[in-house]
Amino acid sequence: MGQTIVMKFGGTSVADAERIANVARRVQREVKAGNRVAVVVSAMAGVTNQLVAQVDSIDRMPDQAEYDVVVASGEQVTVGLTAIALHKLGLKARSWLGWQIPIRTDSAHAAARIDAIDGDQLSRRMAKGEVQVVAGFQGVTAEGRVATLGRGGSDTSAVALAAALKADRCDIYTDVDGVYTCDPRIVGKAQKLAKVTFEEMLEMASSGAKVLHPRSVEIAMNHRVRLQVLSSFEDKPGTLVVDEDEIVEQAVVSGIAFTRNEAKVTLQRVADRPGVAAAVFGPLADAGINVDMIVQSASLDGKSTDITFTIGRAELPRALEVLKAIKRKVKFDRAATDAEISKVSVIGTGMRSHAGVARRMFETLAKNGINIQAISTSEIKISVLIEEKFTELALRALHTAYGLDSA
């Protein structure tokens, strides 16, 4: 009978004619194995950045709907080229843009969310052996406008399509060969995980691991889409992202993630009275600025306190504008900022049933002379904020401390 498979190829996997031919051969192998295949492709590596630069050169604050028209063109090129490469191998293939399927999104241009995908026509064609080549990253709004999902959106397209097609598997082909316990470029002893749970993958993706987009993991988790991350250049097994009950022996900590993309803001000597937090974080939320960690120190004099929080580094200028606007109302001495920080997170579903995970983290960092500036935790994750220059040291020390080093 064969399986229904969605294969997603990112920008580096379709970067030139030769690589697109390679993609076509991988697809051919699945078709020959009797599977029904839909392929989701990104824009060729570098193309989206070029398109964004073209928009920037005209207006740095463009109409988002028109921005989407421009940047969505990158995937349009790739679907056509991929379909042509598939034809060349003698396969039946057809390309699809967001509006043709359609992939319905909301109207939040440049960061749209998929509302619905009509998979019927694609399913019928796949059943006849035709490969469906779908443009990632894009959809169409109820108003008939082109919308894009924001960076990394092609992963989301692939998983949502897999859900719509009730696919047996969604294979994310990329330039790494799977999900590692930590970034192998920094921690040489990092190991590839054979399996990881949706929850862990979601925390990893949200904590800086770039292998999958968080939104795509969220959809996969909600629709129980079996995800696989694997290399488009090498022939070896990747990492399966699966339900927790598929993993018999769960490690306490399965991975260590990090991000250098945050900035820390400290409001010094804020009046210590009810409603202050709301007065600060309400306007930031209204401005669309995502606040990650928040630490409020105990009041020393009973009158004022310090509030520290982190935001995306790119949003720092906008955040400072917001703070300037509310300063008269909220009352604080000054907003001190620090962009030279990084966030390190240890992640593992096994944490739920094991005590002492946090303590080991704090002890390991202390032993290495690394000061913790802020802490935030979830059920399966502990994140700390540290000085950026200690990032590599912290990652390697924690990797060893949690027994993740390869032999």
Among 80, 150, 184, 283, binds a copy of itself (CB under 8 A): 80
Strands 341-347 and 304-312: unpaired
Q: Which amino acid is at 122?
A: L
Q: How far apart are CA 253 and CA 356, in angstroms?
A: 11
The interface region with a copy of itself, picked from 122-130, 142-150, 165-173, 283-291 by CB under 8 A, is 142-150
Q: Does 69 bind a copy of itself (CB under 8 A)?
A: yes
* Residue ranges with strand state E in 14-81: 36-41
To the nearest whole angstrom, how small is the minimum distance from the Cβ of residue 100 to a copy of itself? 6
- Find the binder of a copy of itself among 1, 58, 355, 407 (CB under 8 A): 58
54 makes contact with a copy of itself (CB under 8 A): yes
* Type of residue numbered 85: A
Collect all residues with Cβ–Cβ distance below 8 Å to 74 and sequence separation of at least 6: 42, 43, 44, 47, 48, 51, 137
Q: Compute the least distance from the CB of residue 55 to a copy of itself, in Å.
A: 6
- Binding test (CB under 8 A) with a copy of itself, winner from 28, 52, 62, 312: 62
Length of the chain measured in residues = 407
Apex CA 235: angle with CA 234 and CA 238, to 5°?
90
Which of positions 149-178 make contact with a copy of itself (CB under 8 A)? none
* Long-range contacts, stretch 17-21, CB < 8 angstroms, 24+ apart: 17/81, 17/85, 19/232, 20/78, 20/81, 20/82, 20/85, 21/85, 21/88
Residue 21 lies near a copy of itself (rule: CB under 8 A) = yes
By CB under 8 A, residue 288 contacts a copy of itself: no
Interface residue with a copy of itself, options 68, 200, 306, 315 (CB under 8 A): 68
Tell me which of 59, 321, 333, 340 binds a copy of itself, using CB under 8 A: 59
Determine the 3-state secondary structure of 158 from DSSP: helix
Closer to a copy of itself at the Cβ: 70 or 295?
70
List C-alpha distances in Å: 158 to 107, 185, 217, 233, 406.
20, 27, 11, 19, 32
Residues that bind a copy of itself (rule: CB under 8 A) add up to a total of 38
Calculate the CA 162 to chain-centre distance. 18
Pairing of strands 304-312, 262-271: antiparallel
The only residue of 1, 32, 57, 235 in contact with a copy of itself, by rule CB under 8 A = 57
Q: Are 38 and 161 in contact (CB under 8 A)?
A: yes
- Kindly tell me which residue out of 146, 170, 319, 385 binds a copy of itself, with binding defined by CB under 8 A: 146
DSSP state of 389: G
Interface characters, 95-124, with a copy of itself (x: CB under 8 A): x-x-xx------------------------
By beta-carbon proximity to a copy of itself, the closer residue of 143 and 245 is: 143
Residues binding a copy of itself (CB under 8 A): 16-17, 20-21, 51, 54-55, 57-59, 62-63, 66-70, 72-74, 76-77, 79-81, 83-85, 87-88, 94-95, 97, 99-100, 144-146
